[in-house]
A and B are shown apart, each in its own frame.
Chain A
């Protein structure tokens, strides 16, 4: 079950270039001409198709496996979203084409902005950030711009809970801020007393996820918002866990000033083996002038028609600027738009309901089967954490070993070792699109691995056995860097 590198299939002259335009001489001055061809393969179309098809068959994916990766929201990617986003007219449109020739596309974008405002309770939405991390960057940059505009130049500190996703502190640094970490309590909420100590005249804002990365709802969120606002700071919401509260709570109502959404999580655009994503941002009143451009605006046209146009630096002179050469990941945005139209008003509510049902059901079954929940007295949000600290200590079998053995049982492992606060953790997020039967099968698999760990620890520690490769030596990968094929 393996496939050689495509370069080994290559033979000189094999490419089907008869398919391509007739060869004409390139008109390039001698000293700028390429002399030696790049090491691209020369293969027939069938060889290429066979090679990449076989590669695809080496992957786990949502379409083939249950994929309960916590914090990633691996729900089904509806094929209709792909089909309608890839209509030839949308695919063939140049992003700099005149708005008059793109009203269909712009109308979809405008309606997406409006729907995202409604589900988040925010006053403005920009679709341009191309991933969650870029959305975070936009959010923190807007907070800085807000304080600078009010000449409040001392505000350079961003408060981040210790349970935060790594992109949060990384983003704060990218915006020229310093990070102040505050602890979480044993029950999963943030330490409000520590927060009161941490805020002050240097506080630019706080970055929070709610439900938090620990899988639980931040119950004192209104109080947290009040403390930060009173100290003069703003609240940033990391929307990675929006799937847990869609249609139930709105970040705008919780007091957040800016939020980013991960459309490739909550709104089911494809994960693509590592992107593309989309990190649309929503803002409250205070931050409206600073939104990244371009946005889509609507005006009255002749008669009863609406006319859609791009809003740019002329409309938002205080904007933090452009984050992309064009307007964000348009194709991803179209997929999210189709998904939201198919869910409709009632569908939105049901997403969080069934995500919570699935997560709480799995948590209950795993607790009953003897696994240790990190926060056993709390409700699961749309995800929850199991800690294998006891198994690591008593059996010498850790979370990584469990994860690798689960692969042999035909399940993609949950997220491991995140959040960093909980030792030997598995962060499990089933999403709403999985059946009870699939959840039961996963629980059974975990129970089976536990039994194996008790009877034959070495077996679990040597997993996986049934995949294209056994466990890989990542120390060697980092020490003896082999990053390109050298024939």
Chain B
């Protein structure tokens, strides 16, 4: 039996010290009628060797197909040093830094992270993470309602070009507190400038109404670049806060939200996964949030501050804890307790290894590989580019046949082709969201193109 170190002699001595006749007696306060004798549904224990074989065989069943999906989780190269350090027991098995003096490693790392994240997003202050990008958006909407003293409507404008699954999560989390979400359509007309993006003119129908906040995602879910200056200015001119949802890697080459419009946005959120976190079948990732100093007390999550110790030496500690659940309880800014500390550790090390220049190279290379992917695939009959405007590293392709079928046919050929947009965006027809990062070489792209030709032939039109 692994992990329990007691010998029979230990047990006897301990029971004697307690004055109990058996270990079973330690449970005598539990009513007998509730006690179970057996967990028949749990299989027998496996040794480490046996469970290793099992996991290897399951993993091999899934294999390593070529990945061309983005849609919020991106495959980038992670330098080996990142997880070598993250896996150190002192980071891996440490707890939340409640005893600050015994946690200066974690706390200083988080302070460095906060500094990098605030600067990357062009804002003044960052928290120490939320669960993921989607729940971070929910928290940002709730925070906007708290922070915006003059608005009573709790009404948030969300472009349809924002990640639709993020919106589903925001609804699931925030509608319990009576937030209302209004969807702003994206431009769809043939030949319309900015097709696939959110035209500022489509916000005009809300002019003069009590809107608490306007959300804008950059790049948007389709990979396209939005007119973020105009949208931010529109929000502020209509007395609403502006919430930005961003890809942190893209911020190495794109203007950060703190510089959007005349005043910059009010709250920035997103998912930090592109910074040193593997796709790992869906998580754990981490959500980031940055904001202006004036809103810092409304920001959920943990915050690390630098201060002095008794000897006047600088040190780091959790601060502004009075807003959090363990003190403020029912009036807390959020119920968040455990967050995503280990992943923030990875991201901080990743950002330190690459620096701004390294991130720029990765971002630009990803953009370039997606351009090559689009060129290669749109040469195939039955494949068209849906939106031709400026984009980051994703694109929407329109196919002349059922996308789900094509995706299955590609999977059989060891290619994970993209994200099927059809169910959530029926107005786009048979639409596929594809992504090529710096990890997709020209050879990979050629393999995809060849596989797609076969897949299209296989799927009925």
Query: Known contacts being A26-B253, A407-B101, A476-B307, is A59 close to B90, with CB within 8 Å?
Result: yes
User: B275-308: contact bitstring with A at CB < 8 Å (1 yes, 0 no)?
Assistant: 0001111111110000001001000001111111
Chain B min CB distance to A222 (Å): 7
Contact B85 A49 (CB under 8 A): yes
CA distance A75 to B98 in the complex (A): 18
Q: Is the CB of A185 closer than 8 A to any CB of chain B?
A: no
Q: Is the CB of A151 closer than 8 A to any CB of chain B?
A: no
Contact B55 A347 (CB under 8 A): no
User: A472-487: contact bitstring with B at CB < 8 Å (1 yes, 0 no)?
Assistant: 1110111011111100
Contact B10 A436 (CB under 8 A): yes
B103's contact among A5, A60, A360, A368, by CB below 8 Å, is which? A60
Q: Is the CB of A102 closer than 8 A to any CB of chain B?
A: yes
CA distance A467 to B303 in the complex (A): 22
A473's contact among B13, B102, B307, by CB below 8 Å, is which? B307
CA distance A137 to B10 in the complex (A): 42
User: B318-345: contact bitstring with A at CB < 8 Å (1 yes, 0 no)?
Assistant: 0110101111111110111111111101
CA distance A134 to B286 in the complex (A): 14
Q: Is the CB of B87 closer than 8 A to any CB of chain A?
A: yes
With a CB–CB cut-off of 8 A, which chain B residues contact A340? 42
CA distance A419 to B359 in the complex (A): 45
CA distance A452 to B92 in the complex (A): 34
Give B166-186 interface residues, CB cut-off 8 Å to A.
Answer: 166, 168-169, 171-173, 176-178
Query: Known contacts being A328-B283, A331-B283, is A166 close to B45, with CB within 8 Å?
Result: no
Interface centre among B278, B279, B352, B390 (most CB of A within 10 A): B352
Of all chain B residues, the one with the shortest Cβ separation from A179 is: B330
CA distance A17 to B52 in the complex (A): 37
B58's contact among A105, A248, A270, by CB below 8 Å, is which? A105
Chain B min CB distance to A294 (Å): 10
Interface centre among A93, A250, A482 (most CB of B within 10 A): A93
Query: Known contacts being A104-B59, A345-B38, A473-B307, is A134 close to B135, with CB within 8 Å?
Result: yes
Identify the stretch in B199-207, B231-239, B365-373, B451-459 within 8 Å (CB) of chain A at 4 or more residues: B365-373
User: B52-80: contact bitstring with A at CB < 8 Å (1 yes, 0 no)?
Assistant: 10111111111111010101110101010
User: A13-48: contact bitstring with B at CB < 8 Å (1 yes, 0 no)?
Assistant: 001110111111111110111110111111101001
Interface residues on B, range: 35 or more
Contact A326 B329 (CB under 8 A): no
Q: Is the CB of B212 closer than 8 A to any CB of chain A?
A: no
Query: Known contacts being A22-B365, A469-B315, is A134 close to B131, with CB within 8 Å?
Result: yes
A321's contact among B15, B172, B411, by CB below 8 Å, is which? B172
Q: Is the CB of B94 closer than 8 A to any CB of chain A?
A: yes
With a CB–CB cut-off of 8 A, which chain A residues contact B94? 59-62, 271-273
CA distance A274 to B147 in the complex (A): 26
Interface residues on A, range: 35 or more
Q: Is the CB of B95 closer than 8 A to any CB of chain A?
A: yes
Q: Is the CB of A230 closer than 8 A to any CB of chain B?
A: no
Contact B105 A55 (CB under 8 A): yes
Number of A-B contacts (CB under 8 A): 673
User: A323-353: contact bitstring with B at CB < 8 Å (1 yes, 0 no)?
Assistant: 1111111111010001011111111111111
Contact B364 A26 (CB under 8 A): yes
Chain A min CB distance to B99 (Å): 6
Give A80-132 interface residues, CB cut-off 8 Å to B.
Answer: 80, 82-84, 86-98, 100-105, 107-108, 114-115, 117-119, 121, 130-132
CA distance A144 to B177 in the complex (A): 12
Contact A332 B283 (CB under 8 A): yes
CA distance A28 to B94 in the complex (A): 42
Contact A412 B99 (CB under 8 A): yes
CA distance A169 to B6 in the complex (A): 39
Chain B min CB distance to A161 (Å): 12
CA distance A363 to B165 in the complex (A): 49
Chain B min CB distance to A445 (Å): 14
Contact A467 B283 (CB under 8 A): no
With a CB–CB cut-off of 8 A, which chain A residues contact B316? 472
User: B386-407: contact bitstring with A at CB < 8 Å (1 yes, 0 no)?
Assistant: 0000100000000000000001
User: B196-236: contact bitstring with A at CB < 8 Å (1 yes, 0 no)?
Assistant: 00000000000000000000000000000100110000000
Of all chain B residues, the one with the shortest Cβ separation from A359 is: B26
B329's contact among A17, A170, A322, by CB below 8 Å, is which? A170
Query: Known contacts being A119-B42, A166-B329, is A94 close to B26, with CB within 8 Å?
Result: no
Interface centre among A17, A40, A60 (most CB of B within 10 A): A40
Q: Is the CB of A78 closer than 8 A to any CB of chain B?
A: yes
With a CB–CB cut-off of 8 A, which chain A residues contact B29? 216-217, 219, 378-379
CA distance A67 to B103 in the complex (A): 12
User: A133-176: contact bitstring with B at CB < 8 Å (1 yes, 0 no)?
Assistant: 11011000100100000000000000000000111011111111
A45's contact among B81, B172, B252, by CB below 8 Å, is which? B81
Contact B307 A361 (CB under 8 A): no
Query: Known contacts being A61-B94, A483-B303, is A78 close to B315, with CB within 8 Å?
Result: no
Chain A min CB distance to B67 (Å): 5
Query: Known contacts being A137-B335, A327-B282, A341-B46, is A274 close to B96, with CB within 8 Å?
Result: yes
CA distance A97 to B112 in the complex (A): 34
Contact B81 A33 (CB under 8 A): no
Contact B282 A56 (CB under 8 A): no
A174's contact among B6, B84, B176, by CB below 8 Å, is which? B176
Contact A52 B354 (CB under 8 A): no
CA distance A320 to B353 in the complex (A): 41
A436's contact among B13, B85, B419, by CB below 8 Å, is which? B13
Q: Is the CB of B243 closer than 8 A to any CB of chain A?
A: no
Of all chain B residues, the one with the shortest Cβ separation from A39 is: B119
Q: Is the CB of A442 closer than 8 A to any CB of chain B?
A: no
Sorted nearest first, the 10 A-B pairs with minimum C-beta distance are A344-B45, A63-B89, A272-B342, A274-B341, A321-B172, A95-B282, A326-B282, A104-B58, A276-B284, A118-B41
